[in-house]
Amino acid sequence: MTSVRFLTHSVAAAALFAGATLTSPSAAARGNFDGNWSVVIVTTKGSCDAGYRYGVSIRNGVVVYEGSPPVNLTGRVSNNGSVSVRVWAGSQSASGTGRLGRGTGRGTWTGVTSSGRCSGYWTAEQR
């Protein structure tokens, strides 16, 4: 159960920063959003834990999650800060959308775990 919750929230955290745009890395938001970010994930529906805080990095517009347990993450941040990401491990997955701005961001996320569906919102702050 804990790994399911962790995965769902890790997915949501990653979702904040990975724009699944079809732009190349050179067209990504290089520099505009690069750096370390603190992400707060809040569950509003479902059986996931109420909230978590995670650290992520953006490098050349690509989201990098260096936590554990290992999860698969894909996506980028677009030029305008638009964010869309997918994170998964086994049969568990989550996705999120939103927007980053000058040092902050926010959006929504949904996930599927062995316990069912969860959803909520996220906020982010650049460190």
Residue with tokens 């929230």: 9
CB 5 within 8 A of CB 54: no
What's the confidence (pLDDT) of residue 18?
40
What backbone torsions phi and psi does residue 63 show, to the nearest 5 degrees? -75, 135
The pLDDT value given to residue 45: 96
Q: Can you tell me the mean pLDDT for 53-79?
A: 81
Residue 85: Cβ within 10 Å count: 28
Structural domains of the chain ordered from first start:
2-126 (2.40.128.120)
For the chain, the average pLDDT equals 77
Q: How far apart are CA 89 and CA 105, in angstroms?
A: 25
pLDDT digits (tens, 9 = 90+) for 67-116: 777 778 777 898 899 988 788 888 888 899 999 999 999 999 999 888 88
CB 86 within 8 A of CB 95: yes
What secondary structure does DSSP assign to 17-56, as a single string? T-B--S--GGGS-TTTS-EEEEEEEEEEESSS-SEEEEEE
CA distance 29 to 67: 23
DSSP single-letter state for residue 14: H
